[in-house]
Amino acid sequence: MSCLFCRIVSGQEPAEVVLERDEVVGFLDVRPVFPGHVLLVPRVHVDTLTELPDELLVPLFAAARETAAAVKDVLGAQGSFVAMNNTVSQSVPHLHVHVVPRTKGDGLRGFFWPRVRYAEGQAQDVAARLRAVL
């Protein structure tokens, strides 16, 4: 089994597992942004969000909701950052949702999202293209 996160799910690779559901496993990220940073993965191998089967949408997002609540309730975080990388910047090609505990003043503000402005007419063009398929 070559996938690292498949090996964690099957117990072949050690990890600090914090959540186990029928379809989803959650474990601590080995290099956390902050302590308590959890990765949630579907038990079945799925590369990225676009391949996630319908029946896993609710289990995965429910696990994200539960974990986001837990880092507040148990670790004293004020909130959380929930995100995933898909292909670009994705270092492990098994879909994983990051749940990062957040607290005001933790230093993460604006950490990787420098913002740009739309050129004249660009927002309307981009919105129209997305609207056509969505």
Helix H or strand E segment including 92:
none
Residue 36, judged by CB atoms within 10 A of its CB (0-12, 13-18, 19+), counts as buried
Q: Is residue 1 helix, strand or coil?
A: coil
Pick the closer one to ligand DGP by CB: 51 or 125: 51
Size, binding site for ligand DGP by CB under 6 A? 13
Question: Per CB under 6 A, does 90 bind ligand DGP?
Answer: yes
Smallest gap from residue 41 Cβ to ligand DGP (A): 10
Among 37, 45, 94, 96, the one annotated catalytic: 96
Enumerate the β-bridge partners of residue 79: 102
Smallest gap from residue 51 Cβ to ligand DGP (A): 15
Residue 96 falls in the annotated catalytic set: yes
Pick the closer one to ligand DGP by CB: 75 or 123: 75
Q: How far is CA 50 from CA 8, 46, 47, 53, 98, in A?
A: 22, 9, 8, 8, 17
**Locate tokens 């070559």: which residue?**
2
Pick the closer one to ligand DGP by CB: 1 or 127: 1
> Computed over its alpha carbons, how large is the radius of gyration of the chain?
17
Report the site for ligand DGP in 22-81 (rule: CB under 6 A): 27-31, 39
- Give the residues lining the site for ligand DGP (CB under 6 A): 4, 15, 27-31, 39, 85, 89-92
Q: Which residues are catalytic?
A: 96
